[in-house]
Amino acid sequence: MIVYHGGTEVVEKPAIRMWTSGRDFGAGFYCTDIRSQAESWAKRQARIRKQLPVLNVYEFDTDSARRNVNFKIFTEYSHEWLELVINCRKNPKHIHNFDIVYGKIANDDVGETVQAIADGLMPLDFALQKLSFMPANNQYCFSAEKSLAYLSFSASAELV
């Protein structure tokens, strides 16, 4: 499977990164199988950093990863997905037991709903109903060093 990582640098050797602010699935190396999503992220980061946007392309050996590491797959919004996202966003040092996590990305609209739950302003079940009507992209978070062995760098390109 082809996956993409958008940013402002060529990343031939992915690494697990700790973040200063919480990410959906915590510390890790993030990719998506949606090229346009990675390109948008790269362009957004480039504007913020005043650098050129770069799209990195990898081959992801999903079959081997599923057999050999703790690979958590969220195919839809769920209580478990929401709890993980809330815990990781509240605490950038939150540790979970998954080597790779796949699931929906909490974009700005979804992020507002997640924050409302975290702040106690919205009940969990109502939030899940609301989320089911929101379009969403997806993401892979490679959370453990051993999970990076299933990614092979293919190419990178500066985006215009």
Q: Are 32 and 4 in contact (CB under 8 A)?
A: yes
Task: Look at residue 115 in the predicted model and tell me its pLDDT.
Answer: 79
Q: If you search the block for the tokens 């599923």, which residue do you land on? A: 66
Tens digits of per-residue pLDDT, 57-115?
999 999 999 999 999 999 988 889 988 988 888 888 889 999 999 998 866 667 777 77
pLDDT computed for residue 23 by the predictor: 83
Predicted pLDDT at 155: 98
- Residue scoring higher pLDDT (118 or 85): 85
Q: What is the mean pLDDT of residues 27-49?
A: 95
Distance CA 154, CA 160 (A): 20
- Decide: helix, strand or coil at residue 21: coil
pLDDT at 82: 86
Tokens in use for 67?
């057999």
Would you state the pLDDT for residue 108? 64
pTM of the entire predicted model: 0.89
Q: Please, are residues 32 and 3 in contact by the beta-carbon 8 Å criterion?
A: yes
pLDDT surpassing 70 at residue 24: yes
Q: What is the pLDDT at residue 45?
A: 94
Which runs of consecutive H residues, i.e. helices, occur in 50-141?
Answer: 62-68, 79-90, 108-118, 124-131
CA–CA separation, 108 and 25 (whole Å): 16
**Which position has the higher pLDDT, 45 or 123?**
45
